[in-house]
Amino acid sequence: MHAGHNKMTYPAQIQPELFALAGVFIFLALSLLTYFGEVRFPKKLPYIYQVAASFGLLFLVVSRFVLPELGETTRLWYCYGYLIAALANTVGANVYLAMPKRECKMSRKWSVVVTFPSILISTYFVAQYGLTQTSLVPSIAEITVTASCAAIATCAGVLAFQRISHALLHRVHKGR
Amino acid sequence: MSTKSVKFIILVAMAVLIATASAAVYYSMIMQPSVTVASATISFFEGNDWPTGSVMGSNSTWVSLALKAYPNATLFYDQPLNISNTDTSSHTFRLRHVTITPITGDSQVGNFTFFNFVVEDTAGVAQASFNYTTTGNDWNTPATTSYMTLPANTQWIIYVETKAAAGANEVTANLQISVDVTQ
């Protein structure tokens, strides 16, 4: 009798660098969007986002070619940090539109079209990664599932808050 | 072309360049093959009824069982061989016929009645039966079994029943069975 081990075909495993890649795309999207909305945003902001995206590419190159022997946990945290920075910039642009410029309508559109989808997609990637890497970091699956729920709840809360505040402002204007 | 258009084209070109390069680097990471030598997670172990003259192959990945068959009497090997999953997760395996000699149609085949290999779980429940029978001088080779799930850190038994035809001559049959394991 002979035991032959057949390797079944599975989809390629998610690498931590997927977060860096997602961050790069978010920064590039921000760059183009802020260019179109340059009336509302500082003129240098699109170029700053391009530089930020280039840093993401640098992270990927370092992971792949310069320091491939780095542990997966290290790579995970710096790629994850980069993604968080990209998302923070998305939310920051949202706040920038809402607060100093008082452009509530634009801010609401931004949150629906940019902030919410980018957070949702990022959360999905993180959750997928966390669920397939339980052997690497035992608690990361629980962390990501909790983070996913928190992110969705936060987005829903922001949208609800904007909706309510808009309705209240509308009433106040109507009352005057 | 206005300055604004030029700026926009440069911005888009840079964005496309960065996005393509990043995607290419990531793609090269996930498509990077790596092969690691590791011990087989499913392997064989000698059972309590290990037949004399049998050989356990190196790394326990193959085994050669020396079985007897008595004319007109069924011989039971209760626990000649164990199949073990040493991994921390379950794996599936199946039994698949590879070769048998003397080949079907040979007049020597009629000396045998059956060789039945039964896979039993830890509770003694038969999970699969892999039975070679004869019809005249022809072998009836068994169909490949369904995949069976061997739980983590578990050892199952393969027991064997053999029987030769009444008045059979002293002949030897060699059969090769493959245990296909999914990782």
Q: Is the ipTM above a cut-off of 0.85?
A: no
Q: Give tens-digit pLDDT for A33-60.
A: 888 876 678 888 899 999 999 999 998 8
Q: Per the confidence metrics, is the pTM higher than 0.95?
A: no
**Contact flag A5-B26 (C-beta cutoff 8 Å):** no
Average pLDDT taken over every residue of chain A? 76
Task: Measure B137 CA to nearest chain A CA, in Å.
Answer: 24
Chain B environment of A6 (Cβ under 8 Å): 180-183
Chain A environment of B28 (Cβ under 8 Å): 64
Range with lowest mean pLDDT among A4-8, A171-175, B51-55: A4-8
Q: What SS3 state is found at B29?
A: helix
Q: What average pLDDT does range B139-167 have in this prediction?
A: 93
What is the SS3 assignment for A64-89?
A: HHHCCCCCHHHHHHHHHHHHHHHHHH
**Contact flag A13-B30 (C-beta cutoff 8 Å):** yes
Task: Measure B12 CA to nearest chain A CA, in Å.
Answer: 7
Average pLDDT taken over every residue of chain B? 89
User: Best-predicted range by mean pLDDT among A57-66, A101-110, B62-71?
Assistant: B62-71
B99 strand-pairing partners? B176
Determine the residue of chain A that is closest to B82 in CA distance: A1
Q: Is B22 on the interface with A (CB under 8 A)?
A: yes
Q: What SS3 state is found at B9?
A: helix
Query: Which one of A3, A18, A25 has the shortest CB-CB distance to B61?
Result: A3
**Contact flag A4-B178 (C-beta cutoff 8 Å):** yes
CB pairs under 8 A between A and B: 102
Query: Which one of A2, A47, A60 has the shortest CB-CB distance to B25?
Result: A60
Provide the b/e sequence for A79-102 (b: ≥16 CB within 10 Å): bbebbebbbebbbebbebbbeeee
Q: Give tens-digit pLDDT for B8-36.
A: 888 899 999 999 999 998 888 877 666 66
- CA–CA distance, A160 with A116 (Å, rounded to integer): 12
pLDDT top residue among A69 and A145:
A69
Please give the pLDDT value at position B130: 93
